[in-house]
Structure 1
Amino acid sequence: MEGTTWAALTAALTVAGAIWTWIAFRRRGAANGLRAMGFTLLPAAAWLTGTLEMVVDIAGSVTDWATSLVFDVRTWAGVGLAGLALVLWVVSGFIRDRQLARAQAGDAAPGRTGRRGSLPEASSTRTGPTSKPAVDDEMADIEALLRKRGIE
């Protein structure tokens, strides 16, 4: 494409972004309007720095690659393995989060012994209130919340 075509594309994208910015300012407020304005300025910045052509070339190369995939068993086996790897990675994250939550719940529950074996919990050995008085009201509130949760 020629320089004029790139300038026209940039102008069209900037005008579309300006309309989006105006709508965002009116409907959603200044924060969303400023965010939209930031996105509106990106095509002009990409054109002025020459990266707009690069982005279009990369998108065209990816599109050519995707459309030229042959229905070859080996290629689709690779795509399937990549999908399976992604699914396994996501599932392992969920399982790890559940294990961490279960371990935290097990450590926080009174009377339960976790991986520590038969060591008594610190909260079960205390019989009276904490020995340190609260410095101010905020600390007293925090200490009350900690005692309520079993953390002393």
Structure 2
Amino acid sequence: MTTALEKPDMNTEELLAGQTITPAEEEQNSVQSTSRLSREEIIDSLRKLVEGSVEEVKDEVDELKQAYYKQKKIEIEEARNAFIAAGNPEAEFVPMPDEQEETLKSLLSVFREKKAEYTALLEKQREENLERKQQILEEMKSITEDSDNINKQYTRF
């Protein structure tokens, strides 16, 4: 029987190292962290992310965008409820213009442009790869059709 004194001390990092986090849990943690941000913090985070590589930040950009619009929707609902509670008719409610939304839209526009460039680059690479594969297949086809010099063709193959 071992006593508490004989057991090696384990720090928190060692305990957590044995645990695995599933992608779903990681996404949920990320969504929870973005939902805690204010709209100003979301825009600041987007400014930083837009500077980064598209393939690395696209999921984070989408999460921040969703978090921003969720917060905006909640604020509009609260303003509408306060407007109605003040005795005003619901049909007359007009949400206040949002200057931050214009900033968000411009940042997302810049990101979309970068994403389009990245997508075009990927498409070009795919086309080049397809051409190379077709050339290789044609060469292999010509090698197999030349059955007279099969020993020569085998080494070429």
Length-normalised TM-score, structure 1: 0.33
